[in-house]
Amino acid sequence: MAEQTTVGYIQHHLANLTFGRLDKDYVRKDHDGNVIAVLEEPTWTFAKNAEEVSEMGFMAIHVDSMAWSIGMGLIFCLGFAYIARTFNKGVPTGWQNFIEMLVEFIDGTVKDTFHYRNAMIAPLALTIFVWVLLMNALDLVPVDWIPVLATKLAGDPNFFFKIVPTTDLNVPLGMGLTVFGMILFFTVQRKGFMGLVKDLCLHPFHAKKWYINVLLIPINFVLELVSLIAKPVSLGLRLFGNMYAGEVIFILIATMFGAGLILGIFAGVLQWAWAVFHILIITLQAFVFMVLTIVYLAQAHQVEEEDHNTH
C-alpha cells in the first residue's frame, strides 16, 4: 500500500468487488500488464482490475454492495422481527421503546402524506427508512478499516472492497426503479391501464373541447413522461449523489493521513467533523427517500375526480 499513489488510492476505494462474466478469448493481465491467461470460454469470475470490470459490462454483480446491502437488510428485518416477536404489550423497555418511536414516527409521516387505504405503504416506508439509514450509516466507518482488512484477508493488495452500498449507483437506482415499478403497478391497479394512459395524456393541459385535447395530447405526453421517468431517476440519483460525494470527501480526507503528523492530526479532526455532519446527511437522505416514495405512491393512488374536488 505504501507505494500507492493518491489517484490509485482513491480509485481503489471507489471500485467494487465485481463478479461477472468475461467473454471468450479475453486476455487477462496482472497489475503490471503481463498476460496471465487467455480465456477459452466465457467465464464467471471476480474482476481483477477496472478494465475487466468494464469488459464485463452489464453481466456482472457487485458482490460487496449486495452483501452489505443484504446484511444491513437482514439486521433490520431480523432485529425488528425479534422485537415484534417479543413485543411487550404492557410497559415497553429498551429497544422496544426505540422501535416503537420509529414505527410511530413512520406511521405519522405516512398518515400525513398518504390518505388512501393501502397496508403496504407503511411497512414499505419503514423498510426504506431503516434499511437506507443502516446502509448509509456504513459511511461512518472510517474508510480504510474494512477495505484494508479485506485486502489483508484476500492477500491481494488490489482486492476491491467497498462497504457503503448506497455509494454504488446500482443500489439506489435499483431501489428507485423498484419504486417506479410500484408507481406503475398501483396506478394501473387503482385506475386501470386507461387511467395510466389518461394520466399521461390529459395532464397538465386540459381543454373542454375534444379536438383541442387531441392537439394537447402529444405535449402532455412528453411532459408527463419526463416527469414520470424523472421520479425514479431523481430518487436514486439524489441518494447516490449525496452518499457518493460524502464518501469521496471521506477518502480525500483520508489521503491526508499519510502526509505528516500535522496534516494527519488535521485530517483526523476533519474526518471527525465530516462524520458528525454526515450523521445528518445519512438520516436526511433516508428520510427524503422514504417521504418521496410515499408522495409518489400517493400520486399514483390519486384518482382524477378527487383531484378536481380537492383542488
Partner 1 sequence: MNINLTLIGQSITFLFFVWFCYSFVWRYIRGAMEERQKQIADGLETADRASRDLELAQEKAAQYLRDAKQESAAIVEGANKRAAQIIEEAKQTAREEAERIKAGAQAEVEQEVNRAREALRSQVAALALAGAEKVLAASIDENAHRALVDDLAAQL
Binding residues among 154-193 for partner 1 as defined by CB under 8 A: 165, 168-171, 173-175, 177-178, 181
- Conformational region of residue 155, where left means phi above 0, alpha means psi within -120 to 50, and beta covers everything else: left
Nearest distance in Å: CB 172, partner 1? 8
Choices 75-83, 138-146, 189-197, 218-226; region in contact with partner 1 by CB under 8 A: 75-83
Choices 22-30, 86-94, 211-219, 296-304; region in contact with partner 1 by CB under 8 A: 86-94
Rounded Cα–Cα distance for residues 142 and 147 (Å): 10
| By the rule CB under 8 A, 266 interacts with partner 1 | no
φ, ψ for residue 38 (rounded to 5)?
-110, 125
**Cβ pair 69, 119 in contact under 8 A:** no
| By the rule CB under 8 A, 100 interacts with partner 1 | yes
Give residue 272's identity as a one-letter amino acid code: W
- Beta strands of the chain (E only): which ranges? 18-22, 27-29, 35-38, 43-46, 60-62
Nearest distance in Å: CB 92, partner 1? 8
Q: Is the peptide bond before 165 cis (omega within 30 degrees of 0)?
A: no
φ, ψ for residue 235 (rounded to 5)?
-55, -50
Binding residues among 187-246 for partner 1 as defined by CB under 8 A: none
229 vs 279, beta carbon nearer partner 1: 229
Q: 244 is written with which cell numbers? A: 457518493
| By the rule CB under 8 A, 62 interacts with partner 1 | yes
Report helix angle 95-113 to 261-301, nearest 10.
50
Nearest distance in Å: CB 203, partner 1? 28
Nearest distance in Å: CB 57, partner 1? 7
Q: Which residues of the chain form contacts with partner 1 (CB under 8 A)?
A: 16, 18, 20, 53-54, 56-62, 65-66, 69-70, 73, 76-77, 80-81, 83-85, 87, 89-90, 99-100, 103-104, 107, 119-120, 122-124, 126-127, 131, 165, 168-171, 173-175, 177-178, 181
